[in-house]
Amino acid sequence: MKILDTRSLLATIDNFNEAVFSGRDWIGEAGDLVDWLQSRLGKPGGYLDSFALTSGDWSRECRLFTGERLTTRAGRAHVIAEETNRVLRIIKQEAGLDVPSLEESEARLGERIFHDCREHALETGEFCCATCSVALWRYMSAGGFPGHPDLIKPGLRTLRGARSATGGWNRFPFYYTMLFLSECPENQAGEEMRFHVKSCQRRLRILEGRKDRHSRRKRDLLTRILAGQATSR
């Protein structure tokens, strides 16, 4: 399946995330992806003039890779900016391509995150809402915002304080947050992962038999997490 969809930034990012998640090769499209993604910088509707959704994206349902819905305009715009940053960061690191728009996007977003909202960000690791914060942490776990303070450590403290008695977290989307944790080093996120093992087991049973793509991704994610926790004991 072709990754680049010039009609939709949402679809392109989702396709790339699927390729990485499933271990499918994407290097052959790296150049075309960089060229088109960079063309979305500063277009109308972009969060802080970062990478912007296409006009068609605004009229379609917006879901995270793990299926949770994004319902606010600001949430869509910010999360897709961080996700686009992440895709370009991965391409830059693994394909060795020059991506000048990445630094520009980081400068625009970083001014708000690390300057205007610095005190709150450094204390809690959060910026904007809970979902936006996970998108930011996910980007930072891929090497984003080098030279800026690490927000993952305070973010993990915030997650610990937001744990729900029934499993998961208050405010934070379960599967998207687990995806982020699965991408962190074991010595960084292991405690949080171990706490949610029973919740993962319970949710995996609930997902049995569901065939839509988001349920498949959730099952694959939970299966990987549980297998990793079993081998780390």
**84 with 51: CB under 8 angstroms?**
yes
What tens digit of pLDDT does each residue of 167-216 get?
899 999 999 999 999 999 888 999 999 999 999 999 999 999 999 999 99
Residue 22 has pLDDT above 60, yes or no: yes
Per-residue model confidence (pLDDT) at position 230? 64
* SS3 state of residue 168: coil
User: Coil, helix or strand for 199?
Assistant: helix
Which has the minimum average pLDDT: 10-19, 131-140, 159-168? 159-168
Residue 63 burial by Cβ neighbours in a 10 Å radius (0-12, 13-18, 19+)? middle
* CA 128 – CA 172 distance, rounded (Å): 12
Of the chain, the percentage scoring pLDDT greater than 90 comes to 94
Euclidean distance between CA atoms 125 and 202, whole angstroms: 29
Please compute the mean of the pLDDT values over residues 153-180 and round it to a whole number: 96
Nearest to 73 by CA among 57, 49, 86, 85: 57
How many other C-beta atoms can be found within 10 angstroms of the C-beta atom of residue 109?
24
Q: Residue 86: how many CB atoms within 10 A of its CB?
A: 25
pLDDT in tens, 129-150: 999 999 999 999 999 999 999 9
pTM assigned to the model: 0.96
pLDDT at 8 > cutoff 80: yes
184 and 152 Cβ atoms separated by less than 8 Å:
yes
- The model's confidence at residue 166, banded by pLDDT at 50, 70 and 90, is confident
Distance from C-alpha of 54 to C-alpha of 42, rounded to nearest angstrom: 12
Handedness of CA 14, 15, 20, 23 (dihedral sign): positive
Work out the pLDDT band at 51, boundaries 50, 70, 90. very high
Instruction: Give the separation between CA 140 and CA 184, rounded to whole angstroms.
Output: 10
The average pLDDT across 34-58 equals 97
pLDDT band at residue 233 under the 50/70/90 scheme: low
Q: For residue range 73-111, what is the model confidence (pLDDT) as tens digits?
A: 999 999 999 999 999 999 999 999 999 999 999 999 999
The reported pLDDT for the residue numbered 186 is: 82
Residue 41, classed as helix, strand or coil, is strand
Q: What tokens were used for 139? A: 């980007």
Quickly state the pLDDT bin for 231 (edges 50, 70, 90): low
Q: What is the mean pLDDT of the chain?
A: 95
pLDDT band at 232 (very low <50, low <70, confident <90, very high): low
